Amino acid sequence: MNVQAIVKRIIKQLVRDKRSMALMLMAPIFVITLLWLVLDMDAYEPTIAVTDIPEHMSIALEDGDAEILEMTETGGKEALENETADAHIILEGETLHVTMEGSDSLATTAVQRIINQATEGINKQPFSLEIDFLHGSTDLNMFDHVGPVLIGFFVFFFTFIIGGVSFLRERTQGTLERLLATPLKRWQIVIGYLIGFGLFILLQSVLVTIYSVYVLGMYMEGAIIEVLIIALLLAVSALSLGTLLSAYAKNEFQMIQFIPIIIVPQVFFAGIFHVESVAWMEAIGKIMPLYYGGNALSEIMLRGGHLVDIWSDIAVLAAFSFVFILLNIFALKRHRAL
Amino acid sequence: MTYIELSDIQHYYKQEQVLRNVALEIPKGQLFGLLGPSGSGKTTLVKIMIGLLEPKKGEVLVNQVPMPSLEAMQHIGYMAQSDALYNELTARENLDFFASLYKMKKKDRSKRIEEVAAMVDLTKHLDKTVEHFSGGMKRRMSLAVALIHEPDLLILDEPTVGIDPVLRDSIWSDLKKLQQQGTTIVITTHVMDEAEKCNQLGLLRDGYIIAQGSPDELRKQSETSTLEAAFLYYGQQKSEV
């Protein structure tokens, strides 16, 4: 009953605070759309200046989606200087001499890829090549790859901030002390917060997931409901961590300072970047909730995994939340011994 | 019958001692005033009474129950020095929220909300959000929250700061009325003419109770004509000891 009163109050407060509501619901949609625009674009098509190369080579390059400019040797050099071409190819005797513009790594890689393809096509391979996919397809691009982790990140980030700041304000405006002057038990405050914000986070997760999958066409092999369950688990850990850390912030500004310390590093360990080769980085990742959340979401969305396949991630996320909640209840002892 | 009993209370924040050997007995139905300058330990003492703070040494009994006790808190109304209200909510929603924390039934809640709102003269503003309230209205709102569950013990920490004289007068007459109904009231203040209205006073300085008694007794014993002079007299005596 007490928990219910707190849940009701939090919902009322959030509904009144239109801007925070909009931040929670619309900001993830906005940011994920921007990321989609950037990451879901077709591969970069480089412009290559060529001088005296054989006809079939030129055709092979064009087949590799490069724009070919026939030029003289000096013309090619000028094109590189003026950045109108990404590379300049000259045939010198038996050698293909390639000069890269070189300041844009993306363009350089694209040119290299196209030249490799073109030369391979010319020197016929002894085997024919056929590629099958266990998961995904050739269409799986960067946006699909980072998508699941992004969904996890948004849930974690916004829950951490809004939950943490709300709890902080409860303390600084004196209402926390006032609450504790009633017969309310400490755990009832913590659980009330979890449920109250949990409802909004569920709404946020549904919105972000549905939008990403059905509007932006993010790759999705698994079940939406399972994605939501993981998102909610992740949110509980974010909320309990946010409210816990708010005890160590004097004001909203100090709460914001936790973002670069707590939130941003998690992105680096959550599976967007491959850190397996650096042992210590992987070890650090394992103490972060987003590592498990990101892993679980990728498993469901990219590889069609089910909850049983990722039970260990679920168990760790639940353990994080459980520990944070207990610490939260304990931290409230500072305000009332009982 | 003694309602609040404090024995040998000592409290420190870090190294700094804020309460030293405080002992008090407040009978049921009394209007007890804690008078002292800011920094004298009034708020700390009040928080110990309601069980928000546990003293480093000593014992607190409220209605024979050792504090802190959730059961005892059910019967205590508390008005903090700063207004602890939810600004996004209306006055009615604030009151309803606190009422439900005291496990009041829904029907009793809405009736009681009207009663306390009338008492602090906020009936017209019940459905306004608190962020639009003036400072004085917020003070009255805080008092209404403290009264919402008809507590047996009312603890008010500087309740009349920022309230205009007319309203202050009406709040005092409300407090007197509550007292007649049997409510025990503890009030902290640093305003002498308010102290004058209390049955009993405890003079607090630097964490000591330097004197205790009714306003008349305190004046008589110190052979002074005003409470202010009496306070200075007892303060001097203490520092000589």
Q: Quick one: A110 and A190 in the same domain?
A: no
What is residue A124's predicted lDDT score, i.e. its pLDDT? 65
User: Is A240:A194 a contact under the CB 8 Å cutoff?
Assistant: yes
- CB-closest option in B54, B78, B88 to A17: B88
DSSP assignment string, A279-328? HHHHHHHTT-HHHHHHHHHHHHHHH---GGGGHHHHHHHHHHHHHHHHHH
Q: Quick one: A148 and A102 in the same domain?
A: no
- CB-closest option in B71, B82, B101 to A174: B82
The number of folded domains in chain A is: 2
Q: Quick one: A235 and A291 in the same domain?
A: yes
Most confident among A91-95, B22-26, B143-147, B197-201 (mean pLDDT): B143-147
Taking an 8 Å cut-off on Cβ atoms, the answer to whether A177 and B52 are in contact is yes
What is residue A7's predicted lDDT score, i.e. its pLDDT? 92
User: Is B213:B200 a contact under the CB 8 Å cutoff?
Assistant: yes
The whole-number average pLDDT for the span A122-131 is 70
Phi, psi of A30 (to 5 degrees): -65, -50
Answer yes or no: is B223 within a domain. no
Q: Is the pLDDT of residue B240 over 70?
A: no
* A183 residue type, one letter: P
Phi, psi of A6 (to 5 degrees): -70, -45
Answer yes or no: is A127 within a domain. no
Q: Quick one: A236 and A303 in the same domain?
A: yes
What is residue A327's predicted lDDT score, i.e. its pLDDT? 92
Smallest CA–CA distance, residue A200 to chain B, in Å, is 17
**pLDDT tens per residue across span B129-143:** 999 988 888 888 999
Which of B54, B88, B156, B158 would best serve as a mutation to test chain A binding (most A beta carbons within 10 A)? B88
Q: Quick one: A111 and A154 in the same domain?
A: no
Please name which of B155, B208, B231, B169 lies closest in space to residue B19, comparing C-alpha atoms.
Answer: B208
Q: Quick one: A327 and A188 in the same domain?
A: yes
Answer yes or no: is B114 within a domain. yes
Identify the residue whose tokens are 């604030």.
Answer: B94
Distance CA A14, CA B44 (A): 33
- Which chain A residue lies closest to B148 (C-alpha atoms)? A182
Q: Using beta carbons and an 8 Å cutoff, which residues of B are at the interface with A?
A: 50-54, 68-71, 73-74, 76, 78, 80, 82-89, 93, 97-98, 100-103, 129, 145
Answer yes or no: is B241 within a domain. no
Q: Quick one: A89 and A227 in the same domain?
A: no
Number of alpha carbons in the 13 Å side-chain half-sphere of residue A288: 23
Helical pair A2-16 and A186-210, crossing angle rounded to 10 deg: 50
Instruction: CATH number of the domain at B81, please.
Output: 3.40.50.300
Question: Percent of chain B at pLDDT above 70?
Answer: 98
Answer yes or no: is A132 within a domain. no
Smallest CA–CA distance, residue A180 to chain B, in Å, is 7
Name the band, by pLDDT with cuts 50, 70 and 90, for residue A323. Answer: very high
Strands B65-66 and A95-100: unpaired
Side-by-side strand order, sheet with B65-66: B16-27, B2-13, B57-62, B65-66
Strands A87-92 and A95-100: antiparallel
Instruction: Print the domain residue range for B67.
Output: 2-35+42-207
Residue B12: other Cβ atoms inside 10 A? 15
Q: Quick one: A175 and A108 in the same domain?
A: no
Q: Quick one: A78 and A103 in the same domain?
A: yes
Answer yes or no: is A129 within a domain. no
Distance CA A87, CA A140 (A): 28
User: Is A337:B53 a contact under the CB 8 Å cutoff?
Assistant: yes
- CB-closest option in A174, A183, A337 to B80: A174
DSSP label at B90? B
Comparing A189 with B224, the larger pLDDT belongs to: A189
Answer yes or no: is A227 within a domain. yes
Q: Quick one: A118 and A19 in the same domain?
A: no
Distance CA A295, CA A274 (A): 12
Instruction: Print the domain residue range for A105.
Output: 47-122
* Exposure string for A199-224, b = 16+ CB within 10 A, e = fewer: ebbeebbeebbebbbeebebbbebeb
Identify the residue whose tokens are 């168990």.
Answer: A315
Answer yes or no: is B116 within a domain. yes
Instruction: CATH number of the domain at A84, please.
Output: 3.40.190.10
- Which chain B residue lies closest to A176 (C-alpha atoms)? B84
Q: Is the pLDDT of residue A215 over 80?
A: yes
Angle, CA A222 vertex, CA A218 and CA A223 arms, to 5°: 100
Identify the residue whose tokens are 């679920």.
Answer: A314
Name the band, by pLDDT with cuts 50, 70 and 90, for residue B197. Answer: confident
Name the band, by pLDDT with cuts 50, 70 and 90, for residue A126. Answer: low
Helical pair B106-119 and B91-101, crossing angle rounded to 10 deg: 130
Q: Quick one: A218 and A179 in the same domain?
A: yes
Answer yes or no: is B142 within a domain. yes
Identify the residue whose tokens are 């994920």.
Answer: A32
Answer yes or no: is A135 within a domain. no
Q: Quick one: A145 and A203 in the same domain?
A: yes
Q: Is the pLDDT of residue B189 over 80?
A: yes
User: Is A101:A46 a contact under the CB 8 Å cutoff?
Assistant: no
What is residue B238's predicted lDDT score, i.e. its pLDDT? 65
Name the band, by pLDDT with cuts 50, 70 and 90, for residue A322. Answer: very high
The number of folded domains in chain B is: 1
Helix, coil or strand: residue A118 = helix
Identify the residue whose tokens are 């064009």.
Answer: A62
Helix, coil or strand: residue A50 = strand
Q: How confident is the prediction for chain A on average, in pLDDT?
A: 85
**pLDDT tens per residue across span B39-70:** 788 888 888 888 888 888 888 888 888 888 88
Which chain A residues are Cβ-neighbours of B88 within 8 angstroms?
A: 12-13, 16-17
- CB-closest option in B86, B101, B129 to A182: B101
Name the band, by pLDDT with cuts 50, 70 and 90, for residue B241. Answer: low
**pLDDT tens per residue across span B95-149:** 999 999 988 888 888 899 998 898 888 899 989 999 998 888 888 899 999 999 8
**pLDDT tens per residue across span A240-299:** 999 899 888 888 888 889 888 888 888 888 777 777 777 787 788 888 888 898 889 988
Name the band, by pLDDT with cuts 50, 70 and 90, for residue B91. Answer: very high
Name the band, by pLDDT with cuts 50, 70 and 90, for residue B90. Answer: very high
Answer yes or no: is B168 within a domain. yes
